[in-house]
């Protein structure tokens, strides 16, 4: 078995390999391989049982050459500063490859949100903002939801910031509830963005989406809408989804002959993504071990959970039938697994291209907040499709032209855009 995966070391290793290919100046490379700013702070909360509990919070701002930092806030018991660093770094590349005028940021709190009451969650959210409000804002850093956080939590955070600055400021957080400054289409955005990428990849690979079968890891927001979109937009079949069960502390893979029904599974899932195992079995779903998803005889793998899930141990189990991997999660594939994927000639849509639909629509939300005018869902999703299609084709074009792996191509497109912005702002002259 391989050892524990450090996401930031993985992000730096990926960057270093491409920086070498680009012959990037060593000083520029050193600037980009580390975040520009990091914040670590403590959040004291009076719990409902009367005790005082202190939570560890983080915010990392990687690079804002192209615009305000942007990135989610995770509430997760295994959160680490290195994970936040990695996710902030990937957000810089994600915004650049999607060609939206934002930089990369990420935040987190070490906590299992399912152990908190509603009032305790709100207190942690407001405490996070009180610790960070002087260093976030619509023009310098705009957080959003991520693993373990919700639109309602973004609403609380936006409200706290607005109280502190003395004016209604909806553009400081995105992913807010519709009716509270949120955008229509944001809920579907990341998962549908994965599907738009898959559609374009299938055109390139000459695959028939209606004859294609997918296996999905995860059943949070991204996985749910990737599954729905694969079936309803592409006309394909989803054989299975995997899901972490917070009650048993184990993951399970749920499959059904003829394909799963994501709408039914959503109807029996709790707010933290745990499928009701008994109800699934009563409805004819087979329940297997959590890692069964990766060895299924399918055409497409969609890892849409946490980082490092396709690694040196699991990648050899991928079926020879698999032609395409669409990375809905952040950092799901390790560099060691990349080598196996290349050897097996599987087409990979890298994470910060594949799951860029969420941040793209968050950008749309912020634009709507600034205008105080809101678009229809159809308009949001149409604009998202255009952005994703353009981003995919720019990465594919470079990959084809230079005969390089799609991940390397995505990095090259993103790094070139960030370095260009740094040059135009005078950051590389030493005088800025």
Q: Give the pLDDT of the chain (432 residues) as one tens digit per residue.
A: 456 779 899 999 999 999 999 999 999 999 999 999 999 999 999 999 999 999 999 999 999 999 999 999 999 999 999 999 999 999 999 999 999 999 999 999 999 999 999 999 999 999 999 999 999 999 999 999 988 999 999 999 999 999 999 999 999 999 999 999 999 999 999 999 999 999 999 999 999 999 999 999 999 889 999 999 999 999 999 999 999 888 888 999 999 999 999 999 999 998 777 899 999 999 999 999 999 999 999 999 999 998 889 999 999 999 999 999 999 998 899 999 999 999 999 999 999 999 999 999 999 999 999 999 999 999 999 999 999 999 999 999 999 999 999 999 999 999 999 999 999 999 998 666
Read off the tokens for 258: 């003829």
Phi-psi region of 328 (alpha: psi -120 to 50; beta: other; left: phi over 0): alpha
- Which CATH fold topology does 187-354 show? Rossmann fold (3.40.50)
Question: What values do phi and psi take at 107, rounded to 5?
Answer: -140, 170
Question: What values do phi and psi take at 62, rounded to 5?
Answer: -80, -55
Dist. CA 338–CA 411, nearest whole Å: 14
Q: What angle do CA 418, 420, 426 make, to 5 degrees?
A: 105
Residue appearing with tokens 């919070």:
57
187-354 matches 37-171 in CATH topology: yes
pLDDT of residue 431: 66
The residue from 94, 106, 121, 323 that is catalytic is: 106
C-alpha closest to that of 310 among 322, 195, 240? 322
pTM over 0.75: yes
Read off the tokens for 112: 């299992």
What percent of the residues of the chain are helix, what percent strand, and what percent coil, each to the nearest 5? Answer: 50, 20, 35
pLDDT of residue 5: 76
pLDDT of residue 249: 85
What residue ranges do the domains of the chain occupy?
A: 37-171, 187-354
- SS3 sequence of 391-416: HHHHHHHHHHHHCCCHHHHHHHHHHH
> Computed from CA positions of residues 216, 221, 224, 227, in that sequence, does the dihedral angle turn out positive or negative?
negative
C-alpha closest to that of 356 among 308, 401, 389, 404? 389
C-alpha closest to that of 331 among 57, 60, 93? 93
Strands of 300-303's sheet in order across: 286-289, 250-255, 237-245, 213-217, 300-303, 324-326, 347-349
Dist. CA 209–CA 81, nearest whole Å: 40
Read off the tokens for 339: 């080598």
Residue appearing with tokens 């949001």:
380
C-alpha closest to that of 268 among 250, 291, 241? 241
pLDDT of residue 1: 40
Strand partners, 301: 215, 325
Dist. CA 383–CA 100, nearest whole Å: 12
Read off the tokens for 293: 């998803």
- Which ranges in 114-209 belong to alpha helices (H)? 118-132, 151-165, 186-205
Dist. CA 429–CA 309, nearest whole Å: 41
Which residues make Cβ contacts (< 8 Å) with residue 181, sequence separation at least 6? 155, 158, 170, 171, 365, 369
Among this protein's residues, is 106 annotated catalytic? yes
CATH of domain 37-171: 3.40.50.10860
- Based on the number of CB atoms within 10 Å of its own CB, is 432 exposed (0-12), middle (13-18) or buried (19 or more)? exposed
C-alpha closest to that of 81 among 173, 7, 157? 7
Strands of 69-76's sheet in order across: 37-46, 52-63, 103-110, 69-76, 141-145
């Amino acid at each position: 078995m391989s050892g524990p995966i450090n996401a930031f070391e993985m992000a730096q290793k990926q960057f270093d390999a491409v920086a070498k290919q680009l012959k990037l100046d060593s000083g520029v490379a050193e600037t980009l391989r580390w975040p520009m700013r990091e914040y670590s702070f403590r959040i004291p909360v009076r719990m409902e049982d009367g005790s005082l509990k202190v939570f560890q919070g983080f915010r990392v701002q990687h690079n804002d050459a192209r615009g305000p930092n942007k990135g989610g806030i995770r509430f997760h018991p295994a959160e680490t500063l290195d994970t936040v660093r990695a996710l902030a770094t990937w957000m810089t590349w994600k915004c650049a490859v999607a060609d939206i005028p934002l930089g990369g940021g990420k935040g987190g709190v070490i906590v299992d949100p399912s152990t908190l009451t509603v009032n305790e969650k709100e207190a942690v959210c407001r405490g996070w903002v009180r610790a960070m409000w002087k260093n976030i804002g619509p023009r310098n850093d705009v957080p959003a939801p991520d693993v373990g956080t919700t639109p309602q939590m973004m609403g609380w955070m936006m409200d706290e910031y607005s109280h502190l600055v003395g004016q209604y400021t909806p553009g400081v957080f995105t992913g807010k509830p519709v009716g509270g400054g949120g955008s229509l289409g944001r809920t579907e955005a990341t998962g549908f963005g994965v599907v738009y990428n898959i559609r374009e990849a299938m055109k390139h690979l000459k695959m028939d989406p209606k004859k294609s079968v997918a296996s999905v890891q995860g059943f949070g927001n991204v996985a749910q809408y990737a599954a729905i979109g694969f079936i309803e937009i592409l006309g394909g079949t989803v054989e299975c989804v995997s899901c972490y069960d917070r009650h048993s502390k184990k993951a399970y893979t749920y499959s059904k002959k003829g394909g799963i029904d994501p709408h039914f599974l959503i109807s029996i899932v709790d707010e933290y993504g745990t499928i009701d195992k008994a109800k699934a079995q009563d409805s004819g779903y087979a329940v297997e071990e959590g890692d069964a998803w990766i060895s299924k005889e399918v055409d497409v793998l969609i890892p849409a959970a946490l980082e490092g899930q396709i690694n040196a141990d699991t990648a050899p189990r991928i079926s020879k039938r698999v032609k395409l991997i669409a990375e809905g999660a952040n950092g799901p594939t390790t560099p060691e697994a990349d080598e196996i994927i290349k050897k097996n000639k599987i087409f990979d849509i890298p994470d910060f291209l594949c799951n860029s639909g969420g941040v793209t629509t968050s950008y749309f939300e912020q634009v709507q907040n600034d205008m105080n005018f809101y678009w229809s869902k159809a308009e949001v999703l149409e604009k998202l499709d255009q952005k994703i299609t353009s981003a995919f084709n720019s990465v594919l074009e470079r990959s084809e032209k230079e005969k390089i792996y799609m991940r390397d191509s995505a990095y090259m497109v993103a790094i070139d855009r960030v370095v260009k912005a740094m040059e135009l702002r005078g950051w590389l002259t030493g005088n800025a």
